[in-house]
């Protein structure tokens, strides 16, 4: 039996759980002959990946303002009002954009609107992938693997996050922890292990913790383990000993996590605990607040974990999505309230802790719901769904346009933005992944199609610096993106020279107003080597160096 098959089988029989002092904790690690060949990325950026488990209903989350009549006719029994003045009508996110692109937020998402107005939220409309079949399990796994419904995944046993982190931190677990990476490289919150952090050998990279309470139990038990190990003879003994070694590593990480937790703190921000309006009892408690509060404290304590996965379930709203007498209340309203209020509190907490520059949060759901509601005041499995991103490095904007409600496909919305365009931007532009990392992650072919989420924004520290210049990716092969700040409106010229001072490219970036800007340059014509770029307006704005490979 192959090692990965054994691991898969034993995980199925024990729910993949290794118990530490009575606390279910999975060590997500793998055995590999690779040794540390290169240092991890210098970026200290962190990603919080939030799963809206069950399939979020796009049309009651974002109502197409100029198609309200069509929207209402499709789902009169659950439609969000467009008027009333009592706080129950939808909230127009941005009236400054063309009306065809304007969306109305569910009224429970007022905190989302505040984040958007602060420039800390992005909406990406109509996200999907080819051949969405409406299966919870396959839909979730395809997005975790970075594939679509047409791909043959029979030979793929890894997730895009696992592949990226495996490239950045080779040799895990044999070479870890290290002084540079003393912490779990990734942490997943929840009772089940997803494909998110699996590497190609089938063994994940990181640590899985069932819940915030399980985390507290874990660090409270540090130093109190009375563990014994019985090793049977034969192959099964070898495999069990293999798992046992990872249990020992879990103990080691538990001690480090306790130190980080004790060193950290949360600010005085109040994380919301309950939905204050009528909803089924199971949906009143906010399941996301505790996860995000814990992550903020760990980050405050100095944890170097790169990716966290959180979950909020309940979005499979086939029935009773709304209250029969009020479509603005009920299950879906409570879930959207929990999401937007928890994220708002998290962002405020990070800001108070001076950590906001480092953290990007992003939602994911395996599919959307059908445009037509059903007779049970709910919606069935569908296709297109929005993606939300949160963070200081973002510009508040809406990417894409509303779905055409007169042009449905079998009762479903037609998606037009492949989710991999978003993830490619996150891996390359947020994490600063080089071309080899993009290929290893599986998104190399999407680089030229990635959505610009960061180029026209940047952190406040960049905005406050007149001479702040950013060049990415670097090294580069086909193109570079230059980010620069214009203090005085002017025409911008960009010169690229070789190291001998000879001008090899001269680019006109056009007239630019005050603020942060981005300009992309094709460098296919350049030979391999080192180059210097100079950005000039009415005065020299800055210069820098990049490598063409």
Contact between residue 413 and residue 386 where contact means Cβ atoms under 8 Å apart: no
Which residues lie across from 310 on neighbouring strands? 50
| 460-548 CATH | 2.60.40.1930
Mean pLDDT confidence for 140-164: 88
User: How far is Cα 48 from Cα 359, in angstroms, rounded to an integer?
Assistant: 7
Q: What is the 8-class DSSP label of residue 69? A: H
| Alpha carbons 323 and 65: distance in angstroms, whole number | 23
> Which is higher by pLDDT, 502 or 515?
502
pLDDT at 191: 74
* Residue 175 pLDDT class (50, 70, 90 cuts): confident
Identify the band that residue 469 occupies on the pLDDT scale cut at 50, 70 and 90: confident
CATH 3.40.720 domain locations along the chain: 3-62+109-449
Whether the CB-CB separation of 274 and 285 falls below 8 Å is answered with yes
Alpha-carbon distance of 279 to 59, in angstroms, equals 20
Q: Is the pLDDT reported for residue 330 higher than 50?
A: yes
Check pLDDT > 80 for residue 21.
Answer: no
Residue ranges of the chain assigned to CATH 2.60.40.1930: 460-548
Give the residue, 29 or 439, on which the prediction is more confident: 439
Q: What is the pLDDT of residue 459?
A: 34
- pLDDT band per the 50, 70, 90 thresholds, residue 249: low
List, for residues 197-224, the tens digit of each pLDDT value: 988 875 788 888 878 888 888 777 765 4
Asked if residue 124 lies in contact with residue 386, where contact means CB atoms within 8 angstroms, the answer is yes
Cβ neighbours of residue 511 closer than 8 Å, sequence gap 6 or more = 489, 490, 491, 492
Q: At residue 73, does pLDDT exceed 60? A: yes
H or E segment to which residue 116 belongs: helix 110-117
- Packed helices 289-300 and 212-220: angle between N→C axes, nearest 10 degrees: 40
Residues 6 or more apart in contact with residue 233 via CB below 8 angstroms: none
CA distances from 68 to 64, 209, 281, 394 (A): 6, 43, 31, 29
CB 263 within 8 A of CB 302: yes
Residues 87-113 have pLDDT tens digits of: 799 999 999 999 999 999 999 999 999
DSSP 267-295: -S-----B--S---GGGSB-TTHHHHHHH
Q: Which residue has the higher pLDDT, 540 or 497?
A: 497
pLDDT at 173: 81
Question: Which secondary-structure segment (H or E) carries 243?
Answer: helix 235-263
Report the distance separating Cα 163 and Cα 411, nearest Å: 36
pLDDT at 238: 47
First-residue to last-residue Cα distance in the chain: 43
Helical residues (DSSP H) of 16-103, grouped into ranges? 58-61, 68-74
| pLDDT confidence band for 548 (50 / 70 / 90) | confident
What topology does CATH give the domain 3-62+109-449? Answer: Alkaline Phosphatase, subunit A (3.40.720)
For residue 41, pLDDT over 50 is answered with no
- The average confidence (pLDDT) of the chain is 83
Q: What is the model's pLDDT at position 94?
A: 94
| pLDDT bracket for residue 465 (50, 70, 90) | very low
pLDDT in tens, 478-503: 899 998 888 778 899 999 988 667 88
Hey, which of 18-32, 90-104, 462-476 has the most confident mean pLDDT? 90-104
Long-range interactions of 442-448: CB distance < 8 A, separation 24+? 442/146, 442/160, 442/163, 443/146, 443/160, 446/418, 446/420, 446/421, 447/478, 448/478, 448/479
Beta-ladder partners of 133: none
With pLDDT > 70 as the criterion, what percentage of the chain qualifies? 82
SS3 at position 18: strand
What was the pLDDT predicted at 10? 29
Q: Which of 269, 285, 284, 276 is nearest to 343 (CA)?
A: 269
State phi, psi for 506 to the nearest 5 degrees. Answer: -130, 115
pLDDT of residue 429: 87
The highest-confidence range among 148-152, 259-263, 473-477, by mean pLDDT, is: 259-263
Q: How far apart are the C-alpha atoms of 306 and 172, rounded to whole Å?
A: 14
Share of the chain above pLDDT 90, in %: 58
């Amino acid at each position: 039996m192959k090692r990965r098959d054994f691991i898969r089988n034993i995980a199925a029989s024990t729910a993949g759980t290794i118990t530490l002092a009575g606390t279910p904790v999975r060590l997500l690690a793998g055995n590999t002959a690779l040794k540390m060949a290169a240092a991890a990325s210098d970026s200290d950026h962190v990603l919080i990946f939030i799963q809206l488990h069950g399939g979020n209903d796009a049309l009651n989350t974002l109502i197409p303002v100029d198609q309200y009549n069509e929207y209402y006719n499709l789902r009169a029994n659950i439609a969000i009002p467009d008027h009333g003045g009592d706080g129950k009508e939808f909230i127009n996110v941005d009236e400054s954009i063309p009306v065809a692109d304007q969306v109305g937020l569910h009224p429970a998402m007022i905190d989302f609107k505040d984040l958007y107005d602060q420039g800390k939220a992005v909406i990406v409309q109509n996200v999907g992938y080819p051949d969405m079949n409406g299966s919870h399990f396959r839909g979730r796994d395809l997005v975790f693997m970075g594939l679509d419904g047409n791909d043959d995944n029979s030979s793929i046993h890894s997730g895009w996050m696992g592949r990226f982190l495996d490239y950045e931190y080779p040799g895990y677990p044999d070479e870890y922890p290290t002084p540079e990476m003393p912490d779990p490289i990734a942490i997943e919150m929840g009772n089940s292990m997803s494909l998110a952090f699996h590497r190609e050998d089938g063994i994940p990279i990181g640590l899985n913790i069932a819940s915030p309470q399980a985390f507290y139990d874990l660090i409270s038990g540090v130093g109190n383990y009375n563990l014994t190990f019985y090793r049977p003879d034969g192959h099964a003994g070898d495999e069990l000993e293999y798992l046992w070694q990872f249990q020992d590593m879990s103990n080691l990480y538990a001690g480090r996590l306790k130190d980080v937790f004790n060193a950290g703190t949360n600010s005085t921000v109040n994380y919301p605990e309950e939905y204050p309006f009528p909803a089924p009892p199971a949906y009143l408690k906010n399941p996301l607040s505790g996860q995000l509060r814990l992550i903020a404290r760990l980050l405050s304590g100095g944890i170097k974990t790169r990716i966290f996965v959180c979950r909020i379930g309940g979005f499979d709203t086939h029935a009773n999505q709304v209250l029969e007498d009020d479509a603005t209340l009920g299950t879906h309203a409570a879930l959207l309230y929990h999401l937007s209020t928890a994220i708002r509190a998290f962002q405020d907490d990070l800001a108070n802790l001076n950590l906001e520059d480092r953290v990007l949060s992003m939602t994911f759901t395996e599919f959307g719901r059908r445009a037509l509601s059903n007779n049970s005041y709910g919606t069935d499995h569908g296709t297109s769904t929005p993606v939300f991103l949160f963070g200081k490095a973002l510009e508040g904007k809406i990417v894409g346009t509303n779905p055409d409600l007169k042009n449905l496909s079998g009762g479903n919305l037609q998606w037009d933005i492949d989710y991999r365009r978003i993830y490619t931007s996150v891996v390359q532009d947020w994490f600063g992944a080089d071309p080899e990392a993009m290929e290893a992650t599986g998104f190399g072919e999407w680089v030229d199609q990635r959505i610009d989420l960061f180029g026209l924004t940047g952190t406040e520290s960049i905005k406050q610096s007149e001479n702040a210049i950013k060049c990415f990716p670097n090294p580069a092969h086909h193109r570079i993106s230059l980010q620069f700040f214009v203090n005085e409106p002017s025409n911008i010229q960009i010169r690229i020279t070789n190291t001998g001072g000879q001008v090899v490219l001269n680019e006109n970036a056009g007239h630019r107003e005050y603020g942060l800007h981005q300009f992309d340059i094709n460098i296919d014509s350049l030979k391999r080597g080192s180059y210097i770029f100079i950005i000039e307006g009415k005065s020299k704005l800055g210069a820098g160096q990049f490598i063409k490979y």
